[in-house]
Chains A and B, each alone.
Chain A
């Protein structure tokens, strides 16, 4: 079955630094999405990248996808304290629209 695993599990950085989080999965995917979750709150959709795309940008976010390595990365540039949250990747397949979530990366940005 598909399974997303993020690394690192936790990341602490200073404001202004860049944060990079990685996600790996096991089977072929249709799309890969990244979500943010503030502690105990809901999931906020950040960005979707299709399996035939290699890179996508949205504001300070940059997502890459390497289907040959079954991996994706999320880069947050010029981080802010408000970026402190858990970040999850989620994948879906060609015959299913259920999302399979990864384990998440807990990002702490210190002011």
Chain B
């Protein structure tokens, strides 16, 4: 069964460094998302992406964040200058919106630790 994959599974970085989290969505999906989950808290929406542009973003998704689909298979989230509070699990999701439904399928996540 097709699934969303994410790399790396765990990323440790120093505060102020740039990180790029990578995702390979399900191949026939066209809608892509990033969410994050701070330890012990709810899963929070960051951004949605369709047709090579951002559809919607949350207030968390400030100028330090960017997304890109550099080729036909990858979808990346970049954090330009990481802060301690960016430590969280980051999930990528994708959807084909078949039948107008918004079933979103999630990857296993990247655990980001900012020191």
**Interface residues, chain A, with chain B CB atoms under 8 Å away:** 30-31, 33, 35, 40-45, 48, 50, 88, 90, 92, 96-104
Contact = CB atoms under 8 A, between A and B. Distances in A.
Most interface-central of A48, A97, A100 (chain B CB within 10 A): A97
B35 interface: yes
A12 B103 CA distance: 29
Main secondary structure of the interface of A (DSSP, over half): strand
A91 to B, nearest CB: 10
Interface string B37-72: 000001111001000000110100000000000000
A80 to B, nearest CB: 21
Interface residues of B toward A: which range?
20 to 34
A40 B88 CA distance: 11
| Main SS at interface, chain B | strand
Contacts of A104: 42
B48 A101 contact: no
Interface stretch (B14-22, B76-84, B106-114): B106-114
Given A43-B43, A97-B95, A33 B103 contact: yes
Nearest to A41: B108
